[in-house]
Structure 1
Amino acid sequence: MTTFWLLAAALIAAATACLLWPLLRRPAPGAAATPERAQLVELYHDQLRELERDLHAGTLSAARHAEARDELGRRLLEEAAGTNTVPAGAGPSPLLAALLLAALPSAAILLYLHLGNPVALWRADDLPAASGSEHQLSGAQVEGMVNQLAQRLREAPGDAQGWAMLARSYSVLERHADAAAAYARAVELAPDVAALRSDYADVLATLNGGALDGAPMAQVRQALALDPDDPKGLALAASAATERGDKQAAIGYWEHLYRLLPADSQTAARIAANLAAARSPDGAAHAAKVTGMVTLSEKAGRTPQPGDTLFVYALPNDGSRMPLAVLRRQARDLPLSFTLDDALALRPGHRLSGHRQVMLEARISGSGSALPKAGDLVGRTGPVAVGTEGIRIAIDGKVEATPAP
């Protein structure tokens, strides 16, 4: 997006310079009158020669000759001075130039915002992704960017890609009702895009307490009808089959999805774990949990308020910030014994049982925000194997302020 606006500014500057140059430059003195003066001089020489002939022929006295020559010279000077006068409006016009300089850039930008498609400039990497890093945007920055995108879509409501981006952003902010509304609009504008319907189903399931039956499953069926190889659609269909106890259907969906993935990818490893759980007669998902104790260390630097929110997360070992399981309590519950399992998953198909190792994190938030903010107290440990018990997490640090992008 920055590159586009820099190029647009350069083009506006070039166009403005082309228009201002003729308005501000000064014409060369006498340049416009050169042909007229040449004609006057030639006429003057002709009349002088005629006077000389009359003088030599005796038809003109010497006194009269001198008087006529002086009169001719005076007329030449007067008429030559008239040809040097610059016509009105032909000189520099600083007022008009100033008006153009003020109006042209603004008019160009307003015209683009009205006739163009500014939402198309927003790319997925302009908004915070679900995966985090130490350079993650702050919650206020994320909210500001999402609000800007929502405002742009009010001005350009026919952009399906923009609505999909807004929906994903709302999902990151855990504003699931807003995400569902944005996905509904995106699906309405682009009904044949399978991935949109799968994402919509995922959000609807979240609003439905994680259950995929009903409206979420209707979107999954339509997604797979449009694209039988849609990855998220297959994962959701497999999760739905597992929920209703149809192991054979779940295995079929997982196998289909596994064949679409590179064998050495992390996603393929997760699907293999899901397949193993589905094929296990004992239900391997029962072992898909981690247990332990969260304590507050003196190294944390301050004592939280009893009503501050305590989050305990299980995160994928690949650096993603989308939790596999989340437990929410209060600081007054410390020290806290915890158990994280698939029952605490935020999304179907994104569960603890699909991973062999996880990172664990405990965070105390005074604002109750699901997004980390500067000053939150935090403790981390891992990677630990799924199924491990007795893990200890000491909250012994603070979330540092993230640098501006």
Structure 2
Amino acid sequence: MTTFWLLAAALIAAATACLLWPLLRRRAPSATATPERALLVDLYHDQLRELDRDLRAGTLGAARHAEARDELGRRLLDEAAGSSSAPAGAGASPLLAALLLALLPSAAILLYLHLGNPVALWRADDLPAASGSEHQLSGAQVEGMVNQLAQRLRDAPGDAQGWAMLARSYSVLERHADAAAAYARAVELAPDVAALRADYADVLASLNGGALDGAPMAQVRQALVLDPDDPKALALAASAAAQRGDKQAAIGYWEHLHRLLPADSQTAARIAANLAAARGTDAAAPAPKITGMVTLGEKAGRTPQPGDTLFVYALPTDGSRMPLAVLRRQARDLPLSFTLDDAMAMRPEHRLSGQQQVMLEARISVSGSALPKAGDLVGRTGPVAVGTEGIRIAIDDAIAP
């Protein structure tokens, strides 16, 4: 987190300098500028630099740093007004520059604390790397930040975004009862936000031992009424259906969610696995599939890195590049035994079972992109009949620039 605040301070300083330079440049030294005012400005800049040094050293928190800058700005305006004997227009630019210097950084920090998620920042950067007393210190700091937000919301209870942020912070700290109360307040203030209701349902389920029936499911249903494509609500609805044994409903929700996700995302892979497991328990005839082996041919031209991404596709014979099924692995898995079936479809209406024949392709991508790029290693075969087993694909070519 220290690195984040140092970078933020540097960016704020650069932006402030760009704004202040025209104001300071426009006012050249003149006879109307008194020595007292020049001394005040120099003293103010020295104190600002000392505050910035304390922030970088970690002896002064970001919130306290912002308050101190505001106080310095107000003090400079008061003292400059009392000590100035120059005409009103002569000192306008430096005073405005000082006011901007005091207010802009403070406004930026307060805006981040209000709209951002500083708790997640602490957990991401500080907590995993800490140990012993350092870990305890970071935890105490996180608690302090959350408590400050709770206090602010007691003074301004109508801030729906603030309550949502507080609820998410409590969830990170695993204070589920507090998170549920905060989400209840946020939903009361913003009843038409589907994502809030889905998050609220998740916390209620945590309090209910993971069970989604009852109050959690009521929130899920309302979320889906507000937004039928809300990802979290769809996932929770699918889980609830699976819990009560309604396999077909769970499959429907998972299929809907899978269509909304990027094809090469880890979440899409997990949903595909859920679909495969749900369909695998069906007593109906097994879905059509294609099995085989992918190897690296001698004509590939180069040896891929172990971490390069390996895709295995089934494509329509009409030349369309929308895969009917896709499997994602790594080059280190070669030679790879593969199985392609309907569980790996990107769209429920675009599956292997709807085709008589398909083209097969295996591709190794350095970038990991789902789209072919120059330099990717590739192997193709087909057309082959859906249901064929033991197909061999040799990766022995490269995509030309």
TM-score range relative to shorter protein: 0.3 to 0.5
Q: 1:326–1:213: structure 2 CA closer, same or farther, 3 Å change rule? A: farther
TM-score, scaled to structure 2: 0.41
Give the CA deviation at 1:37. Answer: 29
> Which residue is 1:242 aligned to?
242
Structure-2 change in CA distance of 1:391 and 1:193 (3 Å): farther
Instruction: Quote how far apart the aligned CAs of 1:322 are.
Output: 34
Deviations 1:79-130 (A, max 9, x none): 9999999999999999999999999999999999999999999999999999
Q: Residue by residue, what CA displacement relative to the aligned partner does 1:354-384 show, whole Å, maximum 9, x if unpaired? A: 9999999999999999999999999999999
- Residues 228 and 138 of structure 1, relative CA distance in 2, 3 Å threshold: same
Deviates more, 1:102-111 or 1:235-244: 102-111
Q: How many angstroms does 1:140 deviate by?
A: 1.6
Of residues 204-213 and 92-101 in structure 1, the stretch that sits farther from structure 2 once superposed is: 92-101
* 1:154 Cα deviation after fit: 1.7
Q: CA deviation at 1:280?
A: 2.0
Partner of 1:48: 48
**Separation (CA, whole Å) in 1 of partners of 2:61 and 2:248:** 133
Given that residues 307 and 331 in structure 2 are in contact (C-alpha distance below 8 angstroms), is that contact kept between their aligned partners in structure 1? yes
Aligned-residue CA RMSD (Å)? 22.4
- SS, match of residue 287 in structure 1: coil
Instruction: Compute the displacement of 1:293 (Å).
Output: 35
1-side partners of 2:304 and 2:317: how far apart?
29
SS of the aligned residue for 2:348 comes to coil
Query: Which ranges of structure 1 fall in alignment gaps of 5 or more residues?
Result: 397-403
2:263–2:346 CA contact under 8 A, matched in 1? no
Tell me: CA distance 1:262–1:318, structure 2 relative to 1, closer, same or farther (3 Å): farther
Comparing 133-142 and 288-297, the one that deviates more: 288-297
Paired with 2:278 and 2:352, the residues of 1 have a C-alpha distance of: 14
Alignment partner of 1:321: what SS? coil
- Could you tell me whether the CA contact under 8 Å between 1:270 and 1:354 is conserved in 2? no
Aligned CA distance change for structure 1 residues 264 and 42 (closer, same or farther; 3 Å): closer
Shift of 1:235: 0.5
Higher RCO (Cα < 8 Å, 6 or more apart): 1
Q: Report the alpha carbon displacement of residue 276 of structure 1 after superposing the two structures with TM.
A: 1.4
Counterpart Cα distance in 2 of 1:284 and 1:64: 66
Work out the percentage of aligned pairs sharing the same amino acid: 91
How many pairs are equivalent?
Answer: 398
Shift of 1:161: 1.3
More displaced 10-residue stretch of structure 1: 119-128 or 231-240? 119-128
CA contact (8 A) 1:289 1:340 kept: yes
Q: Output the CA distance in 1 between the equivalents of 2:360 and 2:175.
A: 24
Q: Is residue 367 from structure 1 mapped to residue 367 from structure 2 by the alignment?
A: yes
What are the residue-to-residue correspondences of 1:198-277 with 2, within 5 Å? 198-277=198-277
Q: Cα distance, 1:388 vs. partner?
A: 30
In the TM superposition, residue 138 of structure 1 has moved relative to its aligned partner by 2.9
Q: 1:160 to 1:281 in 2, by over 3 A?
A: same
The verdict on how the C-alpha distance between 1:224 and 1:24 changes in structure 2, with shifts beyond 3 A counting, is closer
Q: Distance in 1 between matches of 2:273 and 2:255?
A: 11
Distance in 2 (alpha carbons) for counterparts of 1:14 and 1:28:
22
Q: CA deviation at 1:12?
A: 15
2:392 counterpart SS class: strand
Task: Return the offset for 1:141.
Answer: 2.2
Residues 127, 145 of structure 1: 8 Å contact kept: no
CA distance in 2, matches of 1:296, 1:186: 55
Q: Which moved more, 1:307-316 or 1:157-166?
A: 307-316
2:357: which partner in 1? 357
In the superposition, relative to structure 1, how do residues 347 and 101 fare at CA in structure 2: closer, same or farther (>3 Å)? Answer: same
CA distance in 2: counterparts of 1:58 and 1:347, whole angstroms = 52
CA distance in 2, matches of 1:140, 1:382: 62
Deviation, 1:184, is 0.4
TM-score for both structures, normalised by structure 1:
0.41
How far apart, in 1, do the equivalents of 2:232 and 2:18 lie? 54
Deviates more, 1:55-64 or 1:314-323: 55-64
Measure, in 1, the Cα distance between the counterparts of 2:165 and 2:273. 31
Deviations 1:302-348 (A, max 9, x none): 99999999999999999999999999999999999999999999999
Residues 1:109 and 1:91: Cα distance change in structure 2 (over 3 Å): same
Check whether the contact 1:119–1:149 (CA below 8 A) recurs between aligned residues. no
Given the superposition, is the C-alpha separation of residues 366 and 204 from structure 1 closer, same or farther in structure 2, using an over 3 Å criterion? farther
| Alpha carbons of structure 1 residues 313 and 177: separation in structure 2 relative to 1, 3 Å | farther
- Kindly indicate whether the alpha-carbon contact (under 8 Å) linking 1:285 and 1:353 is maintained by their aligned counterparts in 2: no
The superposition leaves residues 278-320 of structure 1 with CA deviations (integer Å, 9 ceiling, x where unpaired) of 1122899999999999999999999999999999999999999
Equivalent position SS for 1:86: coil
The range that moved more, 72-81 or 252-261, is 72-81
**Structure 2 residues without counterparts, runs of 5 or longer:** none
Q: 1:152 to 1:171 in 2, by over 3 A?
A: same
Distance 1:359 1:17, change over 3 A: same
Q: Distance in 1 between matches of 2:75 and 2:247?
A: 113
Q: How has the CA–CA distance of structure 1 residues 204 and 19 changed in structure 2, closer, same or farther, with 3 Å as cutoff?
A: closer
The answer to whether the 8 A contact 1:119-1:162 is kept is: no
Summarize deviations over 1:46-82 as a string: whole Å, max 9, x none: 9999999999999999999999999999999999999
SS of corresponding position for 1:299: coil
1:221-275 Cα offsets, whole Å, 9 max, x none, are 0000000000000000001111111000000000000000011100000101111
Conserved 8 A contact 1:309-1:364: yes
Does the 8 Å CA contact 1:360/1:382 hold for their aligned counterparts?
yes
Tell me how far 1:211 sits from its aligned partner.
1.0
Query: Aligned equivalents of 2:57 and 2:276: distance in 1?
Result: 131
Q: CA deviation at 1:44?
A: 50
**Structure 1 counterpart SS, 2:36:** helix
Tell me by how many angstroms 1:277 deviates. Answer: 1.7
